Amino acid sequence: MSCLSRLRSGDGLKQHPLFVIVFCQLLGTSLWFTPNGVAHALQQEWQLSLGMLGSLTASVQLGFICGTLAIALSGFADRFRASRIFACSALVGALCNLLFIFAGDSFALALFLRFLTGLALAGIYPLGMKLVVSWTPHKTGQALSWLVAMLTLGTASPHLLQGLGHALPWSWVLLSASMLAVIAAWLIACLGEGEHLPKAALRRSGLPGFKTFKLKPFRAAALAYFGHCWELYAFWTLTPIFLGQLFLNSDLVSSGLSWLAFLIIAIGALGCVLGGRLSREFGSARVAWWMLALSASCCLIWPWVSDAGWLLGLLVLLIWGFSVIADSPHYSALAAITCPREEVGSALALMNSIGFLMTVFSISLSTQLYPSLQSYISWLLLPGALLGLLTLKPLLQKDPTHPQA
């Protein structure tokens, strides 16, 4: 059997399902921050203000929220094959991302296309988590760490593409991201589901996902995740702005700033992988708490660090980028292990939906208030990290993911 035939049948892919899923997560989530990767070019060509750029990012988040909420309320993720939802969503997202290139004459159309892209991403990220659980149920924390690591690289990839092709038109970044999403759709469609979760579930009474909030361990993990989300995406949105502030009087060209933005966001993938390894010994709750404490410290000290020279500022941004996402997979692992198996898809989608609602407010506020607050904007992100630290405390004593639990 040829390699292509083995791929089409899924036999070759099923030998390494986790690698395939996380790789497709990387390709599919490259759609998420494409306007941010070409922010400077968009601001010049489309005459966008910083607030308008923030609105484009917030539109993606709103679309993601609506999509995940619809999945959670309908039980859609637990009634249909996750691989089919993932593949169809990746194709739709690729198309909407491509059409964004031609929306320069209408900012309203650009916002709508970014909203639709976010809607499509709701079928990629949560469904990717369900696929991971279906293939590797006994390594959930570590597997989800790899998944979020790829989400992080996918988020950073537009900055990488812009750095690689800084001499090319900005549209090539969006075209490349759409092509990557199409590849992801094809690979996941060939892979299919694992055998450790039901392929379809009957419709249940009540609102799917909401019942899980009655469970204290799930509620603690979800609340910590909400605080984490408040900080995370606002930081990723502000990263190029923080770099511009650090190198304001430098000769570093815009392509150099793109490479640094990629590095600061992408280093979070290393944090996810390291956190996944640590969770095998210490449990997900403890690892999440450590990483959240580290990113909270960066939030606190940034106003003073940003004025202390670019070398120290860059070091703190790297530490911040490393820690700000490293806790994320552990909230999903804690949530997945503390809710009924038949509601994993709906529960995770609902948790994502509410968490990303937090990001809309933090992104909008931070981009609108940055001209006034400058580096002190980091204190606007601090309450989210503090909420996470507080709500995680009960799980530190009784962590269901701890190897000795």
Domain limits, the chain? 3-196+209-397
Place of tokens 């639990």: 405
Rounded distance between C-alpha atoms, residue 79 and residue 308, angstroms: 54
Q: Which residue has the higher pLDDT, 275 or 203?
A: 275
CA torsion 338-340-342-345 (nearest 10°) is -30
pLDDT digits 0-9 by tens, 93-136: 999 999 999 987 889 999 999 999 999 998 887 777 777 766 66
DSSP secondary structure, 230-277, as one string: HHHHHHHHHHHHHHHHHTTTS---HHHHHHHHHHHHHHHHHHHHHHHH
**CA dist 322 to 230, 266, 292, 314, Å?**
17, 8, 11, 12
pLDDT digits 0-9 by tens, 34-87: 887 787 788 888 888 888 888 888 899 899 888 888 876 776 666 677 788 889
Among 105-109, 198-202, 298-302, name the one with the lowest average pLDDT: 198-202
Q: What angle do CA 269, 236, 153 make, to 5 degrees?
A: 30
Rounded distance between C-alpha atoms, residue 182 and residue 371, angstroms: 38
Q: Indicate the fold that domain 3-196+209-397 takes in CATH.
A: Growth Hormone; Chain: A; (1.20.1250)
Q: Which two structure tokens, joined as six digits, stand for 236?
A: 């990723």
Rounded distance between C-alpha atoms, residue 336 and residue 280, angstroms: 16
Count of residues making up the chain: 405
Rounded distance between C-alpha atoms, residue 186 and residue 91, angstroms: 9
**CA dist 5 to 83, 106, 164, Å?**
19, 44, 33
The reported pLDDT for the residue numbered 111 is 93
pTM score, two decimals? 0.78
Asked whether the beta carbons of 31 and 174 are under 8 A apart, the reply is no
Confidence bin at 290 (pLDDT 50/70/90): very high
Rounded distance between C-alpha atoms, residue 183 and residue 168, angstroms: 23
Q: Report, as an integer, the average pLDDT of 359-364.
A: 88
DSSP secondary structure, 14-63, as one string: GGSHHHHHHHHHHHHGGGTTHHHHTHHHHHHHS---HHHHHHHHHHHHHH
Asked whether the beta carbons of 361 and 271 are under 8 A apart, the reply is no
